[in-house]
Structure 1
Amino acid sequence: MRKVLIVSDSHGSTEVLEEIASRHSKEVDLMIHCGDSELSEKDPAIVNYRAVKGNCDFYGNFPDQEVHDINGRKILVTHGHLYSVKSTLVNLYYKAEEEEADIVCFGHSHALSAEMVGDVLFINPGSIKLPRGRIEKTYVLLDLDRNKVVLRIFDYESGELPELTKEFSLHKKG
């Protein structure tokens, strides 16, 4: 079992990023930031995260997207603004297919969501600074097994929200 921490849309909040890393860095294999950190890639608050560039990232030299291979699964990370994720997941789904990704992590809308589209799991961890659609400042811990994913949601201020835990089955590609 591998663990991945997913955050997004921290919009300059270095204290929050540092605190989340402090809470979880010893238990996870990878920490992902889905963009709009508004930090330089050299900022101590973001150096332990694998971060991508969001539409508000004017200071850092982050890539538009990254693909990580964890436990035999490909995770595509992007902010989402280049794929119009506020109106549709279709564009990002095609990118996921092109990259042969099993999981897509994205932000931009600040809205917590997790859903299967075809055989691809799409995860938006919400925002740890300016949430939309709910009051909690959310982030995600992903327990990744070969054939299943357990998605655990955390509120920055009050901890795990067990009523929002979801499990998804992943199918073998090819």
Structure 2
Amino acid sequence: MERRTIVVMSDSHGDREIVQAIKEQWQDKADLIFHNGDSELEVNDPVWDGIQVVAGNMDFLAGYPDQQRVELDGYKIIQTHGHLQNINFTMDKLAYWAQEEEASICLYGHLHVPAAYQEAGILYVNPGSVSQPRGQILERLYAVLSIQGTLVRIDYYTRDHQLFPGLSKEFTIQ
């Protein structure tokens, strides 16, 4: 069974260089690269070639979709920033949307806090922020999902592409 790699970043807030650096690091190794919004870059910036990107609450320039849906090896991956689902207050709207979409994996951002958890068979992943982290872990991070069959391993990496210790998790998805 072939291993698949997905890279997920979010909340770069105008830092084009880090988006480019992550893209260069992973473009030949990853099957998919996602940016979960608040890039504050123009929609036609060439950095987006090969990256699935959605609008965040700070992306005032028109043209980004609010959400995306991608399939990889039969797994449905959905992506949003999270502000439209009011995730600052509750994760319910995000969960309802993920259930409606029959998602295997739901990618989101907005909170600037790395998170990976599974609920009702859906894997939820927030990569944290590559520029402005919040919460207990004040490291600027992005996430890498390694999928082999039904096993998903999530690792978090620093801006210099080093594995951040203590946050890695494994899940089984259907």
Instruction: Note if 1:153 corresponds to 2:134.
Output: no
Give the conservation status (yes or no) of the 8 Å contact 1:53–1:64.
yes
User: Which TM-score applies when normalising by structure 2?
Assistant: 0.94
Give TM-score scaled by structure 1 length: 0.94
C-alpha displacement of 1:158: 6.0
SS at match of 1:116: strand
Asked whether the equivalents of residues 77 and 104 of structure 1 are also in contact (C-alpha less than 8 Å), the reply is yes
C-alpha distance in 2, partners of 1:66/1:158?
26
Q: CA RMSD in A?
A: 1.2
Identity of counterpart residues, as a percentage?
37
Match of 1:100 in 2: 102
Classify 1:162/1:26 alpha carbon distance in 2 versus 1 (closer, same or farther; 3 Å): farther
Shift of 1:68: 0.7
Partner of 1:8: 10
Q: Deviations over 1:67-106 (max 9, x none)?
A: 1101210011000001011222111111011111011000
One of 67, 70, 78 as aligned partner of 1:68: 70
- Shift of the 60–45 alpha-carbon distance from structure 1 to 2, 3 Å rule, reads farther
Comparing 118-127 and 159-168, the one that deviates more = 159-168
Secondary structure of the corresponding residue to residue 74 of structure 1: strand
- Between the aligned partners of 2:121 and 2:19, the Cα distance in structure 1 is 31
> Unpaired segments of 5 or more residues in structure 2?
none
2:85 aligned residue: 83
Alignment-derived partner of residue 31 in structure 2: 29
> Runs in 1 of length 4+ with deviation above 3 angstroms?
none
CA deviations 1:107-135 (Å, max 9, x no partner) are: 01111111111111110000001001122
| 8 Å CA contact retained: 1:35, 1:79 | yes
